[in-house]
Amino acid sequence: MDRRYAQLADRSPNFGYLLPLDRDLVVSGATAESYVWTDPVASLMKARLFGERLARQLVASTGLPVSDTATQFVRINALTQAGVLSRGRADGFHLVRSRGNKAAHENQGGPADALRVLETCYGLGRWYYRVQTQDASPHAFVPPPDPATVVGAVVGSDEFGALRSELADQRARMEQMLLRLDRGVSLMEAQERAHREVLARLDRVSEDASAVRVLVDALAAVPTPDAGPGGTGMARLAGADEPDAGDTAEAAGLARALDVQVDAAMVHRARQVTAAARAEFVDRARAADREPRTEREVRLEVDRMLADAGWVVQDVAARNLYDGLGVAVREDRTSSGPADYLLYVDTRLVGVIEAKREGTSLSTAEAQADRYANTLTAAQRLAAGREDLRFRYVTTAVETRFTDGLDPRPRSRQVVSFHRPETLRQWLTLARRAAEGDSGLVHPTLRGRLAALPHVFPLDVASLRAPQVRAVEGMEASLAADRPRALVQMATGAGKTYMAVTSTFRLLEYAKARRVLFLVDRNTLGRQARDEFGSFTATGDGRAFTDHYNVDLLGRAGLLGSSNVVISTVQRLYALLRGEDVADDLGELSQDEEWAASATEGDESDNGEASVVAAELPVETLSYNPAIPPEAFDLIIIDECHRSIYGRWRAVLEYFDAFLVGLTATPVKQTFGFFHGNLVSEYTYQQSVADGVNVDFDVYRIRTELSGSGATLEANTTVPIRDRRTRAQRLEALDDDLVWTPAQLGRSVISINQLYLVLTTFRDQLFTEIFPGRGAAGVVPKTLIFARDDNHAEEIVHAAREVFGQGNDFAAKITYRQSDAERLLAAFRNSPELRIAVTVDMIATGTDVKPLECLLFLRNPRSWALFEQMKGRGARTIDADDLRTVTPDATKDRFVIVDAVGAIDVDRGGASAPLSVYPERQVSLQQLLDRAAAGTISADETSTLASRLARLNQQINETDRAELARLADQPLTALVGRLARVADPDTYNDAAASGDEAVRALVVDAVRPLAENPQLRRRLVDIRRQYDIVTDDQNEDTLLEARGVPPEEIARRKVEDWSAYLRDHREEIELIQAAYEKGTGERSAYALLTDLAANIGTAPRHWTPDGLWDAYAKLGKASAHPGGKAGVLDLLGLIRYELKVDDEPRPHRALIVDRFQNWLLRQEQNGVTFRPDQLWWLERIRDIVATSAGVTLDDVDEPPFTERGGLDGFAAAFGDHAETMLMDIRGFLTRSAG
């Protein structure tokens, strides 16, 4: 790099720090700075270049689909829409752009404008630096010298006063940023030091001004990689934006640019940035948006945080410890210096706070807090009643950490804010009681009591299944180790809630936890949890849980002091934390489920591997709420946590200073990440079937031509169109051929023939192939049908009643949109009449219907987690007598998945308006928009177009409404109003009085925003189609397949998928084979195999070594495993078989035993025989290789060898040949082809 760039960066305090990121930003920023007084127009133009360059860098960093030739207006809006720019940052970019354009095209701009824009550029640059480096240290804009001292300044005499006032404010801000309140330095001394530093920096800026001017003039002519032929990068940028003819014109430019300016280079760049990387960049951009605080501002914010938490904040000179329960005294001196704050509770000194500037490492600050806590004066020790202070906080007002000195292993943890004085008093009281010998308190702190819980209070396992025992013990071990988060994975129906209730009782009873939160995301789950707590019987006295502890639903009254267990939906808790009002009753559809009713029921709810709606909701920082403080709960149990840890729901969880325990049957990668990989118990569906906890399932496939291939509806075909929201139906002739795919089936297209064919086939095969032998009673097994959305469910219900020839009580829709959903759900569980339920999400996850025996998929869930949850609805066991009360003469030993959409084959991983002149069947929205674009639209058609768009505006949601407003550069209502002017009698009559040309001009002016904006026209049609459902009642469907899927076919698919996995991961497999065979680093072979087993055991495969071996055995390619269950090392046999090394898969232990016998035979042939004591060593070496894929000298010094002396004993047995013997047998056992 040209050394002049570094020289310029060294002389530019406002932009030099950007050199490691982009040298052109340094040049354009410093150039704008050097011209601010002498040529403000040039300064504004250079500032515009700075903004354009920075926007380009942001677009590149996020891979947004914006062309390199797009305007700055387009770039800024794209970055804003993507969430990279906040409204304030976007306004800053637009200010720089608009002022720069006026300077470039109209030669407008004075010194005040230039100074304002320069400071704006500095703010944008500092923000960008924080985004890229996460450096949150505070800095301030260094103002240019007083214009009166600058030769050639073009500042008018009337401007000096205002400019000098602005410069004085900027210098004052600098002083605040440089102010450091160090120990032993008075405030006045610190202020004077900061003032001197400001003057020194300003002097240097004045001294460097001429050198900067020389450097920027020289560098302006240096070609850069961004330059086109014959020009510099800066020069090319200077022409990047078109003349600014106003924002309205640029809005039209935005639409055109987004429509056509997508070139190959841009597409390539967008592909290089993954969605995860873009999301991570957006998160950093949001975090960097707030300007870092000065040290004084940090202190003011800490004061506010303390006051919000109930503390009275005082200066040491005005100390009054009786002014409140909790008093925080500023700058009180200890033996080693003044502490920022000392905390008093009931006049007793209990804690210390060390406050630091933003960007300071809190681990360093912790040592300082510890020093103050441990060096109290004699008077302070008397006030504390001990030698040191128990409670220690360090904070930057952005990040706060807390340490309790009485914990068994005092370790700081992150907290949202300071604990309330009432909380510290309660903790102090418990510690005093423990010190006085209270038998119920084995330790003064919660973490101490949790550490003692597993061994002091053993778990009574009498009422628990083995997996529940493992889950409770794993969870308690994690709590004892002070792990803040833990994950329990248990198959659906295995008793997660009962396990959680058991743990909760033990934590309240023995660890003396104050309050536990049981968090769900649906009201149905909350009610189920309440029932589980109510039915739990405590061991020992036989009384119910609720006789011991208060279990409450979180309601309008908020958190009750008497509550020991609180049950709430995450949505309700979020609303209460924000101070919103909520209903008391969980018995009806409430705001807890508005997100489900409005979003998930509107379309498929599974979005990749994450929670559907929560992941899409905007993340909002939760402010401190004294009614529900962060320490309100000691433990939070999160039911179905794979759905409740994303977006704004994550903010709820991270608000609290509590242990987090997640419960789920279907964890995904994000789940493991949130819980820090701390999986304390795992119980899979396959294990639950083996244990009789759940029943297994069979698969029956129904495949039709339309469900596999889709169809085409030819143009001019009149088809029924149904409004998605109102379900109003109309007939409309299609303008063009409509080609629909299977992915649209049930969502934007309803194929009547496909739906009826599937249901008819299901009916006809129900008692012959699906449930053979069950036809005598003629009772349809309880069946749950999964639909795409509420409209799809409605169609299915009517079709099912018709196909089966039954009444309304036979089949019902159960979705969140229904006010009587809970009554219908209860009837589905308990009523013999209701046989078929159709749902979208309400019964898809978490809800138990034990008599359910059949799942019919008319929807293909995209994510593995949701598919597994849906399958789990049918897996619950039920007592035969209980089943017969709803399904006569039936027992449940399995359930059946009837797959009509290929779900098991997926590798988972409005009202008219009076404006309307023409009915929709006569002229479509597409035709009206086309005529507007071609200039052939009539006044009546314009009026009709206004009607259509007005109706559309009533149908669409806020997201679509905002998108159309952005594309049109005006709200849709404004566009409709412009069109409707044509139908206004006065306006139209005035034009008509002047002749046809005037009427034509009226129409052309009305439709111009649409005529000149093709992207807007296309998007209007696309969005309209999203809110319509086409009913295909024309295409006949043909049954292609309806059969059961035998176990052999499932096994064959698993083997084929495993073989494909090995091919796709050849390098990994070859590494395992090499590590195993080369005879060195053998432990790495075992580690690699363990990693392989872990990888294939996760979603979407969920393979186990035993399951893979069993698949080979079912196909006759391998013998049944002699040990009954294949292990990790047996994967070697399957790998070697697929690599054509072996003729058949062989269990690893059997292979090693055979090789060992061959080795002994070879030794005997070579005249070597072994004594019995030597054979003991050799057989143990054989066993270690069989279980660990290798052996080393270090292994020989471990059990079982240590019982005969370890290495010394081995050397004694084999003498000088001991090491050679070990190498020989190890090499033969692992390298031999066997």
Least confident residue range of 472-476, 946-950, 1158-1162: 946-950
Edge-to-edge strand ranges of the sheet holding 718-723 = 729-733, 718-723, 1028-1032, 749-751
Beta strands in 891-1021 (DSSP E): 894-899
For residue 791, is pLDDT > 50? yes
pLDDT at residue number 350: 98
Residue 1194 and residue 1192: Cα distance in Å, rounded? 5
- From the list 30, 28, 25, 1, the residue with the least C-alpha distance to 13 is 30
For residue 542, is pLDDT > 60? yes
pLDDT at residue number 1006: 92
What is the DSSP code (8-state) at residue 618? P
- Are residues 921 and 731 in contact, defined by beta-carbon separation less than 8 angstroms? yes
Which position has the higher pLDDT, 137 or 644? 137
Mean pLDDT of 647-651: 76
915-935 residue pLDDT tens:
455 555 567 889 899 999 998
Residue 486 pLDDT class (50, 70, 90 cuts): very high
For residue 393, is pLDDT > 80? yes
Mean pLDDT of 564-573: 92
Parallel/antiparallel/unpaired status of strands 696-704 and 1039-1044: antiparallel
Residue 779 and residue 767: Cα distance in Å, rounded? 10
836-894 residue pLDDT tens:
999 987 776 667 789 999 999 999 887 777 788 888 888 888 888 899 999 987 888 88
For residue 981, is pLDDT > 90? no
Percent of the chain having pLDDT more than 90?
Answer: 37
Residue 488 and residue 499: Cα distance in Å, rounded? 10
Within 8 A by CB and 6+ apart from 504, the residues are 516, 518, 533, 565, 635, 637
Mean pLDDT of 1184-1188: 86
Residue 1156 and residue 382: Cα distance in Å, rounded? 75
pLDDT at residue number 590: 40
Residue 239 pLDDT class (50, 70, 90 cuts): very low
Residue 475 pLDDT class (50, 70, 90 cuts): very high
* Cis amide prior to 781 (ω within 30 degrees): no
Which position has the higher pLDDT, 817 or 730? 730
1078-1106 residue pLDDT tens:
655 444 678 888 888 877 876 567 788 98
Least confident residue range of 84-93, 97-106, 247-256, 528-537: 247-256
- Are residues 10 and 59 in contact, defined by beta-carbon separation less than 8 angstroms? no
pLDDT at residue number 907: 66
Cα distances (angstroms) measured from residue 993 to each of 915, 996, 1055, 1178: 22, 9, 82, 113
Beta strands in 289-347 (DSSP E): 312-315, 326-334, 337-345
Mean pLDDT of 150-162: 79
The CA-CA-CA angle for residues 58, 83, 268, to 5°, reads: 45
Return the structure tokens found at 1114.
Answer: 């079912």
Burial class (CB in 10 A: 0-12, 13-18, 19+), 493: buried
Parallel/antiparallel/unpaired status of strands 400-404 and 391-395: antiparallel
What is the DSSP code (8-state) at residue 549? S
Mean pLDDT of 331-357: 94
Which position has the higher pLDDT, 1044 or 1212? 1212
Return the structure tokens found at 689.
Answer: 């079937």
CA 192 centroid distance within chain: 48
- Are residues 516 and 661 in contact, defined by beta-carbon separation less than 8 angstroms? no
- From the list 326, 297, 324, the residue with the least C-alpha distance to 395 is 297
Least confident residue range of 378-392, 427-441, 764-778: 764-778
- Are residues 41 and 107 in contact, defined by beta-carbon separation less than 8 angstroms? yes
For residue 707, is pLDDT > 70? yes
- Are residues 1184 and 1156 in contact, defined by beta-carbon separation less than 8 angstroms? no
Most confident by average pLDDT, 136-150, 756-770, 907-921, 1114-1128:
756-770
569-600 residue pLDDT tens:
988 999 999 988 877 654 433 444 444 443 34
- From the list 539, 516, 541, the residue with the least C-alpha distance to 457 is 539
Within 8 A by CB and 6+ apart from 447, the residues are 404, 407, 408, 482
pLDDT at residue number 1021: 86
For residue 613, is pLDDT > 60? no
pLDDT at residue number 258: 33
- Are residues 474 and 661 in contact, defined by beta-carbon separation less than 8 angstroms? no
Residue 94 pLDDT class (50, 70, 90 cuts): very high
Q: What integer best gives the mean pLDDT of the chain?
A: 83
Tokens 């924000």, residue located: 578
- From the list 70, 421, 528, the residue with the least C-alpha distance to 269 is 70
Which position has the higher pLDDT, 1031 or 345? 345
815-838 residue pLDDT tens:
877 777 888 888 999 999 999 999
The CA-CA-CA angle for residues 193, 195, 196, to 5°, reads: 65
Residue 647 pLDDT class (50, 70, 90 cuts): low
Within 8 A by CB and 6+ apart from 969, the residues are 247, 248, 251, 252, 254, 255, 1009
Residue 168 pLDDT class (50, 70, 90 cuts): confident
Least confident residue range of 282-291, 585-594, 939-948, 967-976: 585-594
269-327 residue pLDDT tens:
444 677 667 878 888 898 888 888 877 888 999 999 999 999 999 999 999 999 999 99
Least confident residue range of 111-125, 737-751, 760-774: 737-751
